[in-house]
């Protein structure tokens, strides 16, 4: 696995849970952890249960059966392509790449390789989202008219919040758009089973530069003006977009890192001719459903043994959390790897989202509706 911070922890936790809760999952050995800082890497390998470390990703690719790339967006492409050229299956964190060109190259490498790939859209693995997908596929909502998604956070609302790679176009590609919007756009395309064909987008950056820790500096001392330099923010802090789906549905999307008071508030609502549904990540064990009558939405608890993945966990009604989405995701991907079967969401699905992100940015630059 390349990377060991937030997503490294989320996947390592999943690897540890798999043999306990999904005994039928393939056996996993956490072999090599890849990073640049040897000391931090050794410490992470100990905590996350990896046997050894390397600062050379090629060495890792040569040694393993599966490669996880959970590093920053600008390091997704080269190692992922090298792994695929060596016939090693790859899971890559989202968005697929920092640029659409890189995403295209990754998807082409995936096409040429005879192994499964995965793009880590973990919200597809919330049981309530799987249940929502079943309702839509079964026609319970009828013809879909609207999908409406927001993904709101507030960790940059303080102008002194420190600069990180997530604020750099070169390293991240985009800001709230790629980091958060990618999730919403994928969920919308997944739930509707339809692709977006054109968009009108708006991006905004509220704070143009941010403090960075000084050279060799100890922590992120953003408060102390003397000890920090500032660096330019070259990505969006927030975006909004309107979308038209190939099947005719209308989409509206919004994400922000400036939505004061919102920490990780991801919602998606779908309205159809016969009913509607609404999901809120902050209540992830529930789905609000309206079924063809006018008595209003009912709140369905998606915690029964026959609900997706629930029988692997606790008795009925015992809730699960955000981290479980990674267990489900890694279970499905690693099973596909072991069986050599097709897996979704794969690099092609990641590219489909990347093209929408790209069209939203182009629409913002040109002030025009833009085709995907």
Binding region for ligand SOE (CB under 6 A): 6, 153, 179, 264
Q: Which C-beta is closer to ligand SOE: that of 135 or that of 357?
A: 357
Q: Which C-beta is closer to ligand SOE: that of 7 or that of 144?
A: 7
Least distance in angstroms from the C-beta of 264 to ligand SOE: 6
Least distance in angstroms from the C-beta of 212 to ligand SOE: 18
Least distance in angstroms from the C-beta of 6 to ligand SOE: 6
Q: Which C-beta is closer to ligand SOE: that of 271 or that of 346?
A: 346
Extended beta strands in the chain, E state: 32-34, 52-54, 67-69, 90-92, 117-119, 144-152, 196-204, 209-213, 228-232, 238-245, 250-256, 265-272, 275-280, 286-291, 298-301, 370-371
State the residue for tokens 């798999």: 18
Whose CA is closest to 129, among 281, 252, 353? 281
Least distance in angstroms from the C-beta of 207 to ligand SOE: 16
Least distance in angstroms from the C-beta of 26 to ligand SOE: 25
Q: Which C-beta is closer to ligand SOE: that of 165 or that of 297?
A: 165
Least distance in angstroms from the C-beta of 278 to ligand SOE: 19
CA distance 55 to 81: 18
* Number of other residues whose CB lies within 10 A of the CB of residue 234: 16
* Number of other residues whose CB lies within 10 A of the CB of residue 293: 8
Least distance in angstroms from the C-beta of 176 to ligand SOE: 9
Provide the token pair at 206: 């509220």
Which residue has the CB atom at the shortest distance from ligand SOE? 179
Q: Which C-beta is closer to ligand SOE: that of 58 or that of 267?
A: 267
Q: Which C-beta is closer to ligand SOE: that of 61 or that of 177?
A: 177
Whose CA is closest to 183, among 236, 124, 257? 124
Q: Which C-beta is closer to ligand SOE: that of 6 or that of 216?
A: 6
CA distance 287 to 285: 7
CA distance 366 to 364: 6
β-sheet with 250-256: strand ranges across: 298-301, 286-291, 275-280, 265-272, 144-152, 250-256, 238-245, 196-204, 370-371
Least distance in angstroms from the C-beta of 74 to ligand SOE: 14
Least distance in angstroms from the C-beta of 65 to ligand SOE: 26
Q: Which C-beta is closer to ligand SOE: that of 167 or that of 276?
A: 167
How many Cα atoms are found within 13 Å in the side-chain-facing hemisphere of 101? 2
* Number of other residues whose CB lies within 10 A of the CB of residue 209: 15
Q: How far is CA 128 from CA 10, 225, 270, 277, in A?
A: 20, 46, 13, 10
Q: Which C-beta is closer to ligand SOE: that of 189 or that of 271?
A: 189
CA distance 186 to 45: 31
Provide the token pair at 278: 């609404």
Q: Burial letters for 101-117: b for 16+ Cβ neighbours within 10 Å, e otherwise?
A: ebbbbbbebbeebebbb
């Amino acid at each position: 696995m390349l990377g060991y911070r937030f997503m490294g922890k989320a996947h390592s936790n999943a690897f540890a849970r798999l043999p306990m809760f999904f005994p039928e999952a393939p056996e996993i050995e956490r072999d090599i952890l890849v990073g640049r800082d040897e000391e931090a890497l050794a410490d992470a390998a100990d905590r996350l249960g990896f046997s050894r470390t390397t600062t050379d990703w090629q060495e890792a690719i040569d040694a393993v059966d599966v490669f996880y790339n959970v590093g920053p967006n600008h390091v997704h492409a080269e190692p992922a392509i090298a792994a695929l050229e060596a016939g090693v299956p790859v899971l890559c964190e989202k968005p697929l790449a920092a640029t659409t060109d890189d995403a295209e190259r990754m998807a082409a490498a995936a096409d040429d390789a005879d192994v499964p790939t995965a793009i880590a859209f973990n919200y597809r693995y919330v049981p309530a989202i799987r249940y929502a997908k079943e309702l839509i596929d079964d026609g319970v909502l009828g013809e879909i008219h609207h999908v409406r998604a927001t993904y709101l956070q507030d960790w940059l609302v303080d102008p002194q919040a420190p600069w990180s790679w997530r604020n750099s176009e070169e390293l991240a590609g985009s800001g709230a758009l790629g980091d958060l919007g990618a999730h919403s756009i994928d969920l919308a395309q997944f739930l509707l089973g339809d692709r977006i064909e054109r968009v009108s987008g708006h991006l905004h950056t509220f704070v143009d530069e941010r403090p960075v820790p000084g050279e060799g500096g100890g922590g992120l001392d953003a408060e102390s003006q003397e000890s920090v330099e500032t660096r330019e923010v070259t990505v969006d802090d927030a975006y909004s977009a309107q979308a038209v789906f190939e099947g005719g549905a209308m989409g509206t999307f919004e994400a922000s890192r400036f939505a004061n008071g919102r920490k990780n508030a991801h919602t998606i609502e779908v309205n159809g001719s016969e009913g509607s549904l609404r999901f809120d990540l902050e209540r992830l064990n529930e789905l609000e459903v309206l079924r063809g009558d006018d008595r209003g939405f009912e709140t369905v608890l998606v915690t029964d043994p026959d609900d997706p993945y629930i029988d692997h966990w606790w008795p009925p009604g015992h809730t699960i959390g955000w981290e479980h989405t990674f267990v489900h995701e890694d279970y499905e991907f690693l099973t596909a790897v072991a069986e050599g079967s097709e897996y979704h969401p794969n690099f092609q699905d990641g590219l489909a989202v990347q093209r929408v992100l790209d069209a939203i940015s182009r629409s913002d630059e040109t002030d025009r509706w833009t085709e995907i």
